[in-house]
Amino acid sequence: MNDSRVPPFEQLPWPSRPDLDGTPHAPAPPTFAGPGTAAPRPPAGPGYGRVRRSTVAGIAFVALLVGAAGGVGASLAVDSLQDTPVAQLPGAAAADIARPEGSVAQVAAQVLPSVVSIEATNNGVRTSTGSGFVIREDGYILTNAHVIESSDGSVLVLLSDGRVVDGDVVGSTSDYDLAVVKIDETGLTPLVLGDSDAMVVGDPVIAIGSPLGLDATVTTGIVSSLHRPVTAGGGSAAPAFIDAIQTDAAINPGNSGGPLLNAAGEVIGVNSAVAALPGAAVTGSAGSVGLGFAIPSNQARRTAEELIETGTATFPVIGVNLDRRNQGRGVTILQDDEVSGVVGVVPGGPGALAGLRPGDVILAIDGRTVARADELVVAVRSKAPGDEVVLTILAGRDTRDVTIVLVSNTEVNFGEEVPPPAEGD
């Protein structure tokens, strides 16, 4: 499937830590403003400017007398207080507070040792930061592709014990906005990748990361929605298409790549993007507005395994090009274009084998209604090559269900040219 490159959502401008310099694309964290420039001094005149020396001397003499008197008074006051019993406020005795299983405090204590901060470097210069988490005890860490995109293949990893170690990028894919980093450490505690398909709207979730460089920050919220079609990125790399989990847990610059966890402390998502208010991306003020998006853990698991094994990742396709100009019902397969040479249905692809034709309208995938091209793309990419899907197709006035076996994008040539017209046409 040939994908759109116009993202309706934007990734955060994930910045460097507050103590880092030389990050051209990242705004510094907010700081309290100091005193401004002093107002101009008024011109000398009656009541302003010079004071006669005798007056200054008199003021100093009076001040000394007052100071001496104040000193004596203060001494007497202290002496009298020493004979007065000091009031004691009641306080609780030191005791361990029971934190129930599944509480935010219990989950945070359990998972924080496995969450890290990542600093991308390029020729020794630190360029951006984000978060990540351990997925294997032998030093494999999962993060976002856009966190390490500006690196030269090397990163710095800040562990929970305060140590900073070197890391190497094993592989990344902008298609899913995921990357795997390897550090030379063993005996780490990996987080458990839970079943993101088991989540329902309203489930409590916990986000952990390094927003604005504040390491090990914990925020909470709920699952606000599921299967949110989100396209993010699109800078120097292809945009990611995410069948996202939406949450109102606070996610800010620096949370990128950190885990989104369920009440059992299992990772059910990888924080990736936020919806920005109009103009926020331009002004650099993008941040949490209660609309954060995470890559589902089931997708992250498959992609991470592929990156570790091969260094690259694939995605499934149905072998059709979509007409993004269509504003009607469903998603329309592109008509063959003899001028550009683009075909609607790739010869030999899954769609062609299932009998799809240019101009057919895809109404649903596995019973899930699709109204826009990006909805279909993210639904397909949430699967894996080899999976079967059922497409509901409208051809003319006839509706039918078609079963298609998805294949890897590496098996379909979307550059196929429009076949020449048959003889006599």
Active site residue 83: no
Which residues are registered as beta bridge partners of 135? none
Active-site pick, 131, 146, 196, 382: 146
Q: How far is residue 232's CA from residue 234's CA, in Å, rounded to a whole number?
A: 7
Which helix (H) or strand (E) covers residue 388, if one does? strand 388-395
CB 300 within 8 A of CB 193: yes
Closest CA to 210 of 155, 156, 252, 263: 252
CB 170 within 8 A of CB 308: yes
Which residues are registered as beta bridge partners of 155? 120, 167
Active site residue 227: no
- Six token digits for residue 132: 């990540």
Active-site pick, 210, 256, 272, 297: 256
Active site residue 80: no
The length of the chain in residues reads 425
Q: How far is residue 243's CA from residue 256's CA, in Å, rounded to a whole number?
A: 17
For 330, which DSSP code?
A: S
Which residues are registered as beta bridge partners of 388? 405
* Cα–Cα separations (whole angstroms), residue 254 to 63, 70, 131, 139, 206: 55, 54, 6, 21, 15
For 344, which DSSP code?
A: S
Active-site pick, 175, 177, 215, 360: 177
For 306, which DSSP code?
A: H
For 13, which DSSP code?
A: -
Three-point CA angle 171, 174, 176, nearest 5°: 95
Q: Compute the half-sphere exposure of residue 278: CA atoms within 13 Å on the CB side of its CA.
A: 0
Which residues does the annotation mark as catalytic? 146, 177, 256
